[in-house]
Amino acid sequence: MPAKVKKEECTGCGTCVEECPVEAIIIDEDEGCAVVDEEECVDCGACEEVCPIQAIEVK
């Protein structure tokens, strides 16, 4: 299952963008938070591990 961002908690810091090995995450400037391309995400959990506020879940 692809990573899910808790939009109400995400601060848009970009740490997950830098960590994603397949470049499946971007920061949506309009919303100010991370957005995961579900088709590109490989469910590795790297983003979840580095998120400083635990705003990403990979299940």
Among 3, 54, 7, smallest CA distance to 33 is for 7
DSSP secondary structure letter of residue 37:
-
Q: How many CB atoms lie within 10 A of CB 4?
A: 15
Domain boundaries, the chain: 4-57
Q: How confident is the model at residue 59 (pLDDT cuts 50, 70, 90)?
A: confident
pTM to 2 decimal places: 0.92
Q: What is the pLDDT of residues 6-44, one digit of tens each?
A: 999 999 999 999 999 999 999 999 999 999 999 999 999
Contact 3, 48 (CB under 8 A): yes
Q: What is the CATH number of domain 4-57?
A: 3.30.70.20
